Structure 1
């Protein structure tokens, strides 16, 4: 377990490629569950209900996995799916854990404070870092540049946030 956590830390530091992960459905399931649980914790810390956090997390994961599977299949690289999906979910879980302390500073709350501003600044940095990590993973999955992978990550993030927030705006 410690080696797996170390791998995901190194992946998030752009030191390891996703293909260093074993192609394991069981590992994908464990990492998917971890990402979902951490996503719910992030949502609760941000002030959402646990149910809304869970539904949003499920929707985001489903959207990401479907888009990844479709793209890899279209480009005839489907054998890379398990490792790429595991890397994306595992890095998402790691970055989610790191996001909890800045979120606890209430950066989206109604009261302005220096701590809230610090939390917002740290969250912006995490969003940018998450885009780079996703770009790094996509670079290896699709044999493209880091810039191209990051551009895909930004586009996907915009689509995912728009879709998920419109789906759950009344929840």
Structure 2
């Protein structure tokens, strides 16, 4: 039986100050089949090594993008990573032929400042989180990745309880260690 190799791409500009992301990473640190790749630590100068990133993507079966939602979007370095790494011929083709990413699973692990209620038709954001993440999910699908959904934890600006963070981190560990994915 082959072990599923998971690449967790972390794109948090203030990771040391993020209790939720730290809890998630602490919970998966000892998993043998997981590679944690911190973009802000690796590329503090924002100079992305595209060949290295392509190799990491090739070596893994599942790609998890872990990031905080900033202004209804991904962080700036994650956007720069998309632009530099997910290029024609590697990540996608126009003729329908397979890319280097074809068939790999991908999902999102996001932290959200506002509450779940904020992301409702009657909430402050006026639409669900999935609608704000649509450009990311469409990018993953265009790159022939098998998009599996999002695992989100809300209310980060309200200083969530340790219990909330522990439960979220345990669920994150369960998803990654069992190769399960969040419900889309």
TM-score by length of 1: 0.28
Larger strand proportion of the pair: 2
